[in-house]
Chains A and B, each alone.
Chain A
Amino acid sequence: MRRCFVFLCVILVAVSLLLPAQQKTPTIAFDSESKELGKVWEGDELKQIFKFTNKGAGQLEILNVQPG
């Protein structure tokens, strides 16, 4: 009976440890986080696209994009 109780406790602890690891989380990964455009002429409109990939297992949600 005591062995059975200890076994059950071990199982419960193992399950509680494994559960968070199995949660599906997103991972944001940018191809590049900075771009240097070199010399440009005054009056030019600079346009740059930053690509990113969700390398995680969960849905990635962009909450806010704030110009600095």
Chain B
Amino acid sequence: MLSAKQIAPGHTGEIQVTVKTEGLSGPLSKSVTVFSNDPRTPVVVIALSATIQPEFELKERSVFFGSAPKGKELSKDLIITIAAEKDLKLTGAESSDADIVARLEPVPDSNGKKIKLVVTMKPEAKEGYHRGTVVVKTSSLRNPELKIMVLAVVSASRD
């Protein structure tokens, strides 16, 4: 955001740079190129950098069960780690697909900082392509929900 397009000699102007960090982690660098009628420096690149720390760490943001025959229960675990500096909780997990169930289990000896998310595909799941989202609710105001995509293909039973 630019304060003014025309700046008189001796006067100052401002450019406000805003960056949203949802879903980002690690080193971040954003630049903005400013074009002006200054004959000596017509182009100036300004840059903003930071290191984004996640409140919740997950190795994967998706679960892919692959192709499985109907009648077989499939299950996968994901460990969610809560940043040590944060007093946060995971309050629940729900799935958008009726054939996919999600539940949270505390990891022993982790002082409540590691929680296992168990995602299960029911054996009675309908044949076909399943694409759902597991939403983990948190006590964080910054990140009230963690979304994990779940994919599976249930094929006809071999029996």
Contact = CB atoms under 8 A, between A and B. Distances in A.
Interface residues of A, number: 42
A48 interface: yes
Interface residues of B, number: 50
Contacts, number: 174
Nearest to B144: A43
B5 to A, nearest CB: 5
12 contacts: A25-B39, A38-B51, A40-B52, A48-B48, A49-B15, A61-B6, A63-B37, A64-B35, A65-B33, A66-B35, A68-B32, A68-B45
Nearest to A32: B46
Interface stretch (B19-27, B72-80, B92-100, B111-119): B19-27
B41 interface: yes
Interface of B: 2, 4-25, 30-41, 44-55, 140, 142-143
A35 to B, nearest CB: 5
A51 B23 CA distance: 29
Interface of A: 24-28, 30, 33-68
Across the A-B interface, the 7 shortest Cβ-Cβ residue pairs: A43-B142, A68-B31, A37-B50, A60-B7, A64-B35, A46-B19, A63-B35
The residue in B16, B25, B40, B52 that gathers the most chain A C-beta atoms within 10 A of its C-beta is B52
